Each structure stands twice: as structure tokens, then as C-alpha cells.
Amino acid sequence: MKLGGDQVVNRIRALVANWVHCKRLNFGSINRFNVITSCLYIVLAVICWYVYLYEFVPPAIVDETAIVDSIDSLSKDAKDSKGVCDLYDGSWVVDETYPLYNASQCPFAEKGFNCLANGRKNKGYLKWRWKPKNCDVSRFDVEEVLEKLRGKRVVFVGDSLSRTQWESMICLLMNGVEDKTSVYEVNGNTISKKIRYLGVRFSSYNFTVEFYRSVFLVQIGSVPKRAPKRVKSTIKLDELDSISSKWIDSDILVFNTGHWWNRGKLFEIGGYFKVNGRLKLGMSIMDAYTTALNTWASWVENMVNTNRTRVFFRTFEGSHWSKSHTCKVTQKPLVRSKREYRSHFSDIIKKVVNNMSVPVTTMHVTPMDSYRSDAHVGIWGDNPTVPDCSHWCLPGVPDAWNEILFSYL
């Protein structure tokens, strides 16, 4: 006969009490008896608690069919994910129709990026096209793109890598323009590394492609009074660049920043961070970068009409400097990238953009660029005695960024 929970508890209690009564007669020492009695009552309490739980709390029942269904569901999702088009997950393939333009025939291609004109003999780096795994980047159709941009304003904001993409776009588009003189810099300026604004107008199609030099995106400030002598300049992390008002009325707005966020271009030359008017001498570069990106995100959310303006942020473009800071340009792309796919800067960009309340597209070019150790300027730049494994030859990798950008249109 099965006993109920209360009956079991009462029976155990009676047995323990009887045992204790017998032992009391045998123990001469009260102290020893008290210790053993206390232990027994603890054991009794635990047993009673267990019986109570077993009797009144139903055991957990595992639904095996639910597990099977969940596994099946996960498997289905995994299968579906294999067919997703990720424009930035792929490889470089040889394509004899490349390059898409001749930099020597494009007046807006900076001389320092025209590697062929600067003596590079190997032309193989020009023949590579980016191919995503599960889809294709739309083939560049210059006539179609020119029509899509008619009456528009395209703005690039960032450092010299942004200027390279700006130059690439202009050279790509000029191929479809019959009258080359109808394409001109609006202020008559020549390409310069230091000038803060460059704008090229395609008058036949009534649109402009502009570049604003803003290497940090946020404001560079003065040195506060009583600052340590090592402080020569400040980066105001909570204020966007003073020229940001000129970026607003655009149709396509492309940002980047990253290559100036290092000790050599900050702390070692006296550059430190400032927030709310106060110096932050102990702030790390990554914390500062995050703060600056959040300032940028807030500005986009409050100042840019994303119903009109399509906003992009291109992630960090990895360089191929060796650990000893030497630059060796290879003959071909790496078959398998030996470099780190991830970048802390890129991770911060993706996280900030994902948390924004308005639509912004992250152009995650970090993985695709990591293969192209063959495509850097190297010794074929402005100064052959100073090799360059950060910037890219034109034509080259920036053209692929623009092909992806055009595919979003």
C-alpha cells in the first residue's frame, strides 16, 4: 500500500524519536548526546523537505517530440542561411574585362595612387573582381548609374581612404561621359591631400560627387588652460565636425574613419580626448572611438532626413604592414586570408549602427580587403622611398567598394 506524504513523514519522525530515546540511556555525556541529536534533527528536516517536494511538486517532464521539432527547425534555418546573399562574404576571381577605367586618362585619379604610371610592372592586380559566395555584385553599367544619379548629390566624408573611394567613383562614371570637359571640380581645385572640400560636377547629368575631409568625424579643439604640457591638441568626442552642416542635404552619404585613431597620430604628437569640456587623459583609443561614433549616430538620427538620404558607413580597411612595419606587396591576392578578419574598429561600427533608430547601411569591407595584399600602393606612390601598405592603387579595391555601393541603388 502506498503511503501518503504526511504518513511517511510521521513514520520517519517516530523511528528517529525512538532511536534517540534508546541512545539517551546509553550516552553518559549530555554534550555528546546534544550534538548527535542536533545532527539527527537536521537529517530529519532534509528528509521531510524532500518527501514534501516529491509529493506536492510535479516532476519536470521533457517533451522529446519538442526537442526533435526544435532540432528540425534549427536545421532548416541553418540550411536556409547557407543561401543568404552576403555581399561581403566571398572571394576574388580573375576577370579579364577588368580594370573598368584607365587612371592615366582620369584627371581626378590622384597621382600617388596611379601605380602603373608610377612604374609598377606587374598588372595582374588589376584583373580581380569581387565575387560573393551565394550571389553576384551587379555588373557595373555606367549608363544606368549615371541616369540613377541624375539630379542627385553624392557625399563622401572621412579620411584619405574615403578620398580614394571618391576618386574611384568619379573615374568609373567618367567612362560613360562623352564630353569629358563637362566634368569639373566646382572650385577649380586640383586633388590635394590637405584640402577639406573637393566637389566634382557632372553637368550633363546635373549631379555632384563631393568629398569632405574629416579624419575623426568629430571636432578638433583647442588646448584648455592649465593642461599638461604634453597636450598639443584635443579631439572633442561629443561634438561633430564643424563642417557637418554641409553634409546634410545629400542623396547618398558615405562615411568612414579609423586610420587616424592610433597612438602615432594621437598621443605621440600630443593629441588627447575631451568630453563635456574636460580632458580625458586616461581614456583609451577604443573608448574614444566608441564615444565619437555614438556622437555621429546621434547626429544622423537628429539631423539627416533618411527618407531622402541613403546613409552608409564603410568599415575599417585593413592594411598589410608586417609586424616589423615593413611593406611587402605580393604578386597575387592571398588564396586564404592569413590576416585577422575582424577589426575592433569594424566591430564598434557594426554595433553602433545596429543600435541606431534610423536606417543606415554598414559596408563591411574588412574581410574582402584582407585578401588583397597585392593591391596596395607599396613603392609605386608619391615617394618610392616610403612604401605604403595602407592605401590602394587605382584602379583597384576601391572600385569594388563602389560596385557594391551602386548595387544598393
351: three-class secondary structure by DSSP:
helix
- The stretch 285-294 carries a mean pLDDT of 98
Give the C-alpha separation, 156 to 139, whole Å: 22
User: In which band, very low, low, confident or very high, does the pLDDT at 14 lie, cut at 50, 70 and 90?
Assistant: low
Structure confidence by residue, pLDDT tens digits, 67-121: 223 223 323 333 344 678 999 999 999 999 999 999 999 999 999 999 999 999 9
Exposed/middle/buried for 386, CB within 10 Å: 0-12, 13-18, 19+? exposed
Asked whether the beta carbons of 101 and 366 are under 8 A apart, the reply is no
Question: Helix 344-354 vs helix 285-303: angle between axes, to the nearest 10 degrees?
Answer: 30
Lowest-confidence pick of 38-52, 126-140, 152-166, 382-396: 38-52
Give the C-alpha separation, 125 to 115, whole Å: 10
Side chain identity, residue 146: L
- The stretch 190-194 carries a mean pLDDT of 86
Q: Which of 263, 252, 257 minimizes the C-alpha distance to 237?
A: 257
Residues in CB range of 120: below 8 A, 6 or more apart? 378, 380, 393
User: Which residues on adjacent β-strands are paired with residue 233?
Assistant: 271
Instruction: Specify the pLDDT at position 42.
Output: 53
| Extended beta strands in 117-227, E state | 128-132, 153-158, 183-185, 197-202, 207-213, 218-221
Name the more confident of 30 and 64.
30
Range list of H helices, 140-179: 142-148, 160-174
- Residues forming the active site: 160, 388, 391
Instruction: Specify the pLDDT at position 57.
Output: 33
Name the more confident of 159 and 83.
159
Which residue has 566624408 as its cell numbers?
157
Lowest-confidence pick of 156-165, 310-319, 395-404: 310-319
